[in-house]
Structure 1
Amino acid sequence: MNRPSFLPHLAVRRPITILVTLLAILVIGFVAYQQIPLELLPSGFSPPFLGVWTPYRNASPQEVEEQIARPIEEQVRTIPGVRRVNTYSSNNGCWTWLEFTPGTDMDVAYDLLRDRMERARAQLPDDVDRYYLRKFGRNDTPVIFLSISLPESVEDPYFIVDHYVKRPIERIDGVANIEMFGAFEKVLQIQIDQNKVQAYGINMFDLMNRLRKDNFALSSGWVSEGGKKFLVRSVARFKSFEEVKRIPINAYGVTLGDIAEVKYDVPKRDWYQRINGKPAFKLEIHKESLANSVALTRKLRKIIQEDIIRQPQLAGAEVNILFAEGDFIEESIQNLINTALWGGLFAIIILFFFLRQLQMTLIMMVSIPLSVLIALIGMFFMGWTLNTVTMMGLMISVGMVVDNAIVVLENIYHRRNEGLAAREASIWGASEVALAVIMATLTTAIVFTPMLIIRDESGFFSFYLKRIGVPVIFALLGSLFVALVLIPLATTRLSSRDPAPEWRLISRAKAAYQRSLKFVLAHRLDTVLAILALIAITFGYLMPHTKKVDSTSGNANDFRLIFDLPGNFSMDEANAFFKEVEDTIFAHASQYRVKAVDTGFRKQFGRVRIFLKSTRHTQWYHTLYYGLRRLLGIPAPEEMTRDEIIADLKKRIRLKPGIEMRTTWRGPAEAGGEGSISIMLYGDDTGRLMELAEEVKRRLRQIPGVYSVETDQESGNDEIQVFLDREKMARNGLNPNQVAFGIMYSLRGINLSRFQTRDKEIEMRIQMNEADRANLLQLKDLKFYSAGGRALPLSAIARFNVERGLGEIPRENGKTF
């Protein structure tokens, strides 16, 4: 070649410029390393799904479907970009799931969903006072789990935790939201005594309507007085619990306290929460999108030690961090860094083995961290974070970034051995291979380019593959800069002209390579057939037999056990079962490396989440050491892996008849099983579908080989259906709405306007005493008053039927299935 390449020539002829550029890279790289956020997984990906939970307790699935699911469906299906709308109506409320087309702006969709839900509220029942929207991005999962155990002497645990734990944490910069579990807020409960109501002849329907309209503050306009304008506000709020008891309910001086017990207490619990076998609260802390998980974890620990546990109201309390993503990130990042360092060290050892020059090897040592630093700068200015995925990309690049430097350095070293001066050898040695190095780098980078442009339906794979590919491309381009600019400049100062003697092992390896090359060239057809055979074996046998999974089931240091309990289980039986599960786990706590056990359950469902301590041996040499001991048959005290712990627990936990256990949130119907087939019926009429389902069930049972056919209806609860007689009600001056709402008020209860104090608002709930609504006879004896004032039992104006109800009513795009 007649002219040297531009970059090597510039590097050697303008060393000050290159040194200043290098210094700038180091300074900017240091700033990027210090400022780049640390996360467990990349943020910024919002799956095209949104959810809405609308609670409506103590209701039948049919009622929830009719009054909640259908009105919500009518509104949310008008959101642009909606592909599918699914609703699931149960006896506790309605889940609404929305799937959007790829490319939909999920932030805009979230705002539109809130708007549609506000429109739907006008059609929902009056006692539906709130709903909960759910997104499914990385920032919508909690990053810290905190447990609080209080002494039994604390009168109002919810208030203490809310004011002295939750609120101080909410003030931490970077905290977006905190969800509290196992906490039950005290409620002002008005428990109506049915016998006293009948004795005083109180019309419950009228009483409920009066109480719902009481306890208010209303703006009433304005008046002028003395040249001033005064706003008028009518205030009729309760000032004390005693005032609630003194509310008059008829003209004879009977008060609410005469027919009801008014108490400020925790309502009856239907969910129990325990941490390490003790009643406890659990806080799930969510971070803001731009917050640093590691810094947030450190701030939380500081405020717990310096502020929260020093509060006198929390004397004797235990506050523990069950899981902190910041700790896991630091541990994961440190493991990746250690792996990269070991990989770099091995690469340097191999280079020294072949180059046989310490100075040349030292030059190569600089190329690896400098190329990675350039990639880190690119990630920082793109607004990305340093996480396990981007670190994986950097790790892949560690072994690739030295290739360019090796080629350039070896050719410079070769020209020096030929007798060229240091400067000339650096310029011409790099120039001769510059085009080859550039082409090799670009062809390698182009392999990762599809990761940047790939598109999949959900966007999940393209998002994460991009986080792997971009760091590799940046590192490769950085290695090109190092090889063509820094290596030529460095070799003018450090390289030696004295050739090192070739080691015998290298000479033998070269000779073996030459013999292999001659054989391949002499047997070309055989070589091609061997390569084709290897390809066939790889794609025909190895790939199909490689195990594949479609999802993961938790972090590396925690897992869940989810239990579906039979419908006839009582709360005491559920409590006893989960106590046995906890005892089994605690009996092997040291073997399993158990850090904490989080248990939550109700009658028919429960989950146990086990948090594990970090493994002590995570380096490659530990794995190699224990692998060699296993190979030689020498016993070794190894720690159990997460999968081994799960498998061992499944063997040890004794499941009672009717209890099913799984380790994912997918239910038995979703998870499926070997030898099972699911058939779905779609239609507009839920009642008609139930009839058809029974007919399909009958016909399927007649097929030979089918031993069990089940429908969704079998998982439901028995329900009492009250059929109102319109003629009898009309003769007594009653209407169906009055009777139906009277039943609802008595059994389900209703929320009244909140009782306001100086520091909080208290929920007020009125309902019939539990002892007066315990069985069917009491329901039949529920009194309603005719137009003439005569008390009529419900059995006089209605008939009753007991049937099996649905456990859940699923719908998709407006059709039940």
Structure 2
Amino acid sequence: MKIAKLSVLRPIAMSMVIVLMLILGAVSMRSMTVDLFPELTFPIVAVTTTYEGAGPEEIENLISSPIENAMGTLPNVESVTSISRTGGSLVLVAFTWGTNMDFAALDMRERIDAVRDFLPPGAQLPRVLRFNPSDLPIVQLAITDPSGEMVKAKRLAEEEIEPELNSVDGIASISVEGGAESEVRVTLDPNTLSSFGISIDQLQQIIASENLNLPGGALTDQNQDLPIRITGEYASITDIKTLPIPNSKGIIQLDQLGEVKETLQPTTQLSYLNGEPAVGMSILKQSGSNTVTVANDINKKLEEIKETLPEGVEIKPIFDQSQFIEQSIRAVASNMILGSLLAALVLYFFLRNLRSTLIILFSIPLSIVTTFIFMYFSGQTLNLLTLGGLALGIGMMVDNATVILENIYRLRQKGYSLKDAAIEGTSEVGPAIIASTLTTVIVFLPIVFVDGLAAQLFKPLALVVSFSLLASLFTALIIVPLFSSLLLKVNNKSSRFEERFSTFSLWYRNLLYKALQHPKKTISLVLLLLVASLFGTPFIGKEFLPQQDQSFISMTARLPDGSSLDATYDVMEEIDERLKGIEEIDLSFVTVGGTDNFSVSAGTQLNRSNYSILLVPLSERNRADTEVGDEIRELISDIPGVEISISSGDSGFSQNPVSLSITGPDLDTLKDMADQTITLLSDIEGIREPSSNYTEGNPEIVVDIDRVKASQFGVGSAQIASAVSSATRGVVASRMAREGEELDIRLTIEDTYTSSIQDLETLLISTPTGENIPLQAVATVTRGQGPSQITRTDRLREITVNADIVNRDLGSVVEDIEKTLKENVYIPTKQYKITIGGQDEQMNDAFFKLGGALALAVVLVYMVMAAQFESYYYPFIIMFSVPLTIIGIIIGLLVTFQPLGVGSLVGMLILTGIVVNNAIVFVDYVNLLKKDGNSTVEAILIAGPTRIRPILMTTLTTILGLIPLTLGIGEGMEIQQPMAIVIVFGLSFATLITLVLIPVLYYLLDQFKEKRQAKKMEKVEL
């Protein structure tokens, strides 16, 4: 080929090009962003709103419903789900894949602006949050103080540590959880207030109006224009205690109405590290910034901060995503090096020539460097999938170079000069190499048209594999001929290996001859093997994405709704005690109350404890995170009244393994169906912790206002609600600034007046006439039960049943679920439905789309070959290599106990492109021999022994290059492993069968073609 000729004749110019590429590649690699996964855009947007003190039903009617109505009119909306719970609303809007989420979020904000005037006073303005796995914290820290003074610890976190960390480039936001804050609390006696004729509202207004610094105009004095500032802000608690309060009897000090003291704010969230009080910090990075660089900069800054901390105060990392990334990247890199060395050993084994091996070895880093250049300019990041694509490409990178080098080597043995052998050897197999590379690259084109999570994950991998193959093509056509013309040295002496390989080639020639003599038997035997392998299909499970051991376990312990923070804390202490016996646990950080850091939520959940459990590194333990999680389940399963949910190996973007959506109009019926479903799921093998998002109800106190009686006293519902709220929760009247901090001034009623229903009934309500009446005079106070959470999807009431899976594949579990529900669950009417969602829905969607991409890839591969051979006969023969991969794929998945998943399907896609390469090289050489005057049988019998060496070499280099990935050595290899298994086993079996079947099919179709031409000739003669 002309390019090869140019590279051979211009070695100095080409050497300069190589040096330039190495420099450019090194710069590109250093400039690329390092992350765990490619940046994903999820078509889900959350709208969160808080409304303090409101119950789920009020939240549903006043907040969730108006927002739902507004969101439902947006274009490309797939579903709208609302979750209404005490104190907050969460509305999740799911769009169709492919929607421009920037414009969608903008549209949502416009719709919210239109409805915010209809929201009740006091409700927080709704916030629009995009859901993205990259928005999860990259680093989580715990700050502990041995003195146990959490006020100081939180102040230290907010005022010293957070500002220092904010100076680190790439940090988007830092949130502080747990700890405690001080406030000035004024505890009042209603009877005392009544005796002086003062209400809480009046007291609030007085305290707020006195706590002001105001401008008082200006004064000219001695030719100076001086501004007047009137200072009235409280400087100390004494100022508040001595505040004069006018009343019907004169003026008294505030401390005469109640106790004024500095204390801790009431909290709904507590944080602990290994059982000790702690303050948590979650750090999010900016979109597009380098996770590893940002995390390393954070750690450097923390080392500086630690030197300035008070004695005994410690900052401990709970979670550092960069550590897993670095471990995973090191594992991929080592697998790439190991794969390259194994490939080099194959080359040396076949060629027995050190210089030839070194030529190929040098072509690998050059191809990798070229790939990095392509990756940088296409905007790719260094992550598990792109580096996995590079690792997948390592074995295939040397294929092209191997075929060309082997051909050059063969011509040198025939007596060609170095330059002539390099030029002629490249020109001879160059077209076949280009065609085989294009067939591999073209299979990734259909992924461009696929949407969904699987496509977003594997598009970068497909691009990198394509880049690596194109880079290897460049290296094979230009660099290998260049170095061969300068360095290649031929061993003309016949070695023992050559003698043995000649014997093997002769055996293969005899096998080919026998197969050509009995073509029907050969085809029948292959078909029998194919059918036999298909019987193994029912024994292969299915999954969406494999779990990854990130040495991290997330756990939630939930008590019955209505449980107090103290009750949740007591359970946490018991769980902590039981976890101490597990050796694999390094750190345990728990947040009692509130919500966890890894989910979008709203409202208060005092009955929840969220655990972030950090395990020792994988290299230091013998059990996987799922096994440790199973032991935790067993240890705490007997704690009464506690529901445990454990998640391990989560990639951050998969849904629940098992998720059943039960929809219908009546909530009681839905509850019965959900209870029945949970009972049935508990008996299915492999399912853990089935639970629903519906609970029996939240204990509540109902104040039913008698409007007739209330109107007689001149009070309204709003005034009564305000009085009850002020008595039970207190009211913040103002804030006091002191030494750089601000303390709330909270007015509360003594606990003795709100400790029971009877006390609440005697709560005094002020009337416009100055009279104080008990609450029971205008309302009835009773104890009741309300829903703790109300969930609706597309305006239909919904209960979701979720479960985890352990030691079983998703497909088998879902089959058992479908069968069990069909036989045992009673569905009253067509209005009620049970739908299986979660990972099963994601899996089916991915299988359907990738299956279509696979079918289109087969068509595209055929079209490329048809263009290359300028015939539809020969590509048709070669395409028989593709179904033969099924034999190896099924055997590989069965032997390795690997379920069929998205990774396996992508492996099949890659396999479709590379499995035809050997057949292309074989058929191309047969055609070349036929042009020289050989018959079909002679050409096949010559081409077989001649091409057996490069075919075996390229196959073994690909297979051995993928062996480290197949074994899943190192952290983060779980996603690449299924792809590698499919390629290794599929290519192995397909190659062995192809070496015999393709020649037989070529012979039969060539005979058919000749007979057809003979008939045409007869018709012409007639």
1:311 and 2:311 matched: no
Per the normalisation by structure 1, the TM-score is 0.85
1:273 and 2:271 matched: yes
Task: For residue 397 of structure 1, report the CA deviation from its aligned partner.
Answer: 0.4
User: Which residue matches 1:66?
Assistant: 61
Q: Distance in 2 between matches of 1:701 and 1:338?
A: 50
Task: For residue 556 of structure 1, report the CA deviation from its aligned partner.
Answer: 1.7
Does the Cα contact within 8 Å between 2:549 and 2:625 map onto a contact in 1?
A: no
User: Which residue matches 1:596?
Assistant: 587
1:250 and 2:247 matched: yes
Secondary structure class of the residue paired with 1:88: strand
1:653 and 2:636 matched: yes
Amino acid at match of 2:719: Q
Secondary structure class of the residue paired with 2:68: helix
Q: Distance in 1 between matches of 2:407 and 2:681?
A: 76
User: Which residue matches 2:132?
Assistant: 137
Q: Distance in 2 between matches of 1:764 and 1:297?
A: 39
1:116-515 paired onto structure 2 within 5 Å: 117=112, 121-129=116-124, 133-152=128-147, 154=149, 156-208=152-204, 215=211, 237-245=233-241, 246=243, 248=245, 250-251=247-248, 252-306=250-304, 308-312=305-309, 314-451=310-447, 453-456=448-451, 459-502=452-495, 503=497, 504-515=499-510
Work out which of the residue numbers 562, 579, 582 in structure 2 matches 1:585.
579
User: Which residue matches 1:615?
Assistant: 618
Q: Distance in 2 between matches of 1:358 and 1:645?
A: 49
Structure 1 unaligned spans of 5+: 618-637, 683-691
Task: For residue 563 of structure 1, report the CA deviation from its aligned partner.
Answer: 2.1
1:560-571 paired onto structure 2 within 5 Å: 560-567=554-561, 569=563, 571=565
Secondary structure class of the residue paired with 2:287: coil
Work out which of the residue numbers 539, 550, 557 in structure 2 matches 1:556.
550
Q: Distance in 1 between matches of 2:592 and 2:174?
A: 21
Deviations 1:692-716 (A, max 9, x none): 434777899999x999999977532
Identical columns (%): 28
Q: Compared with structure 1, are the counterparts of its residues 584 and 57 closer, same or farther at alpha carbon in structure 2 (3 Å cutoff)?
A: same
Q: Distance in 2 between matches of 1:218 and 1:116?
A: 39
1:693 and 2:686 matched: no
Secondary structure class of the residue paired with 1:195: helix
Q: Distance in 2 between matches of 1:795 and 1:711?
A: 38
Q: Compared with structure 1, are the counterparts of its residues 39 and 745 closer, same or farther at alpha carbon in structure 2 (3 Å cutoff)?
A: same
Deviations 1:81-128 (A, max 9, x none): 544332211113222222223333323444554555566554444444
Deviations 1:704-732 (A, max 9, x none): x9999999775322222222122212222
Task: For residue 441 of structure 1, report the CA deviation from its aligned partner.
Answer: 0.7
User: Which residue matches 1:625?
Assistant: none
Does the Cα contact within 8 Å between 1:81 and 1:101 map onto a contact in 2?
A: yes
Secondary structure class of the residue paired with 1:598: strand
Work out which of the residue numbers 736, 748, 761 in structure 2 matches 1:780.
761
Q: Distance in 2 between matches of 1:322 and 1:60?
A: 34
Does the Cα contact within 8 Å between 2:204 and 2:733 map onto a contact in 1?
A: no
Structure in which a larger fraction of residues adopt helix: 2
Q: Distance in 2 between matches of 1:466 and 1:374?
A: 19
Task: For residue 529 of structure 1, report the CA deviation from its aligned partner.
Answer: 3.8
Q: Compared with structure 1, are the counterparts of its residues 495 and 785 closer, same or farther at alpha carbon in structure 2 (3 Å cutoff)?
A: closer
Task: For residue 753 of structure 1, report the CA deviation from its aligned partner.
Answer: 4.7
Q: Distance in 2 between matches of 1:223 and 1:69?
A: 55
Secondary structure class of the residue paired with 1:253: strand
Q: Distance in 2 between matches of 1:227 and 1:528?
A: 113
Deviations 1:185-215 (A, max 9, x none): 3334343333322333323344456667775
Q: Compared with structure 1, are the counterparts of its residues 207 and 34 closer, same or farther at alpha carbon in structure 2 (3 Å cutoff)?
A: same
Amino acid at match of 2:179: A
Secondary structure class of the residue paired with 2:539: coil
Q: Distance in 1 between matches of 2:546 and 2:432?
A: 43
Does the Cα contact within 8 Å between 1:721 and 1:801 map onto a contact in 2?
A: yes
1:790 and 2:758 matched: no
Deviations 1:21-45 (A, max 9, x none): 11111110111122222211122x2
Task: For residue 659 of structure 1, report the CA deviation from its aligned partner.
Answer: 2.1
Task: For residue 268 of structure 1, report the CA deviation from its aligned partner.
Answer: 2.6
1:805 and 2:801 matched: no
Secondary structure class of the residue paired with 2:245: coil
Amino acid at match of 2:784: E
Does the Cα contact within 8 Å between 2:556 and 2:609 map onto a contact in 1?
A: yes
User: Which residue matches 2:803?
Assistant: none
Q: Compared with structure 1, are the counterparts of its residues 699 and 111 closer, same or farther at alpha carbon in structure 2 (3 Å cutoff)?
A: closer
Structure 2 unaligned spans of 5+: 594-605, 683-689, 799-1022
User: Which residue matches 1:685?
Assistant: none
Task: State the aligned residue count.
Answer: 768
Does the Cα contact within 8 Å between 1:54 and 1:130 map onto a contact in 2?
A: yes
Per the normalisation by structure 2, the TM-score is 0.69
Amino acid at match of 1:782: L
Amino acid at match of 1:799: T
User: Which residue matches 1:723?
Assistant: 704
Q: Compared with structure 1, are the counterparts of its residues 516 and 184 closer, same or farther at alpha carbon in structure 2 (3 Å cutoff)?
A: farther
Q: Distance in 1 between matches of 2:421 and 2:681?
A: 83
Q: Once structures 1 and 2 are overlaid, which stretch shifts more, 762-771 or 408-417?
A: 762-771
Deviations 1:658-702 (A, max 9, x none): 322222499xxx96989xx864224xxxxxxxxx43477789999
1:21-60 paired onto structure 2 within 5 Å: 21-43=17-39, 45-60=40-55
Q: Compared with structure 1, are the counterparts of its residues 730 and 570 closer, same or farther at alpha carbon in structure 2 (3 Å cutoff)?
A: closer
User: Which residue matches 2:608?
Assistant: 605
User: Which residue matches 1:100?
Assistant: 95
Task: For residue 372 of structure 1, report the CA deviation from its aligned partner.
Answer: 1.5
Task: For residue 761 of structure 1, report the CA deviation from its aligned partner.
Answer: 4.0
Q: Distance in 2 between matches of 1:295 and 1:711?
A: 41
Amino acid at match of 2:93: L
Q: Distance in 1 between matches of 2:113 and 2:49?
A: 12
Task: For residue 470 of structure 1, report the CA deviation from its aligned partner.
Answer: 0.6
Task: For residue 491 of structure 1, report the CA deviation from its aligned partner.
Answer: 0.9
Task: For residue 437 of structure 1, report the CA deviation from its aligned partner.
Answer: 0.8
Q: Once structures 1 and 2 are overlaid, which stretch shifts more, 278-287 or 209-218?
A: 209-218
Task: For residue 355 of structure 1, report the CA deviation from its aligned partner.
Answer: 0.6
CA RMSD of aligned residues (A): 3.6
User: Which residue matches 1:680?
Assistant: 663
Task: For residue 750 of structure 1, report the CA deviation from its aligned partner.
Answer: 3.7
Q: Compared with structure 1, are the counterparts of its residues 748 and 353 closer, same or farther at alpha carbon in structure 2 (3 Å cutoff)?
A: same
Amino acid at match of 1:693: L
1:13 and 2:9 matched: yes
Task: For residue 322 of structure 1, report the CA deviation from its aligned partner.
Answer: 2.4
Q: Distance in 1 between matches of 2:507 and 2:726?
A: 91
Q: Compared with structure 1, are the counterparts of its residues 325 and 712 closer, same or farther at alpha carbon in structure 2 (3 Å cutoff)?
A: closer
Deviations 1:515-559 (A, max 9, x none): 4434443443344344444444555543x4333334667752111
Secondary structure class of the residue paired with 2:156: helix
Q: Once structures 1 and 2 are overlaid, which stretch shifts more, 376-385 or 181-190?
A: 181-190
Q: Compared with structure 1, are the counterparts of its residues 89 and 212 closer, same or farther at alpha carbon in structure 2 (3 Å cutoff)?
A: farther
Secondary structure class of the residue paired with 1:32: helix
Q: Once structures 1 and 2 are overlaid, which stretch shifts more, 47-56 or 562-571?
A: 562-571
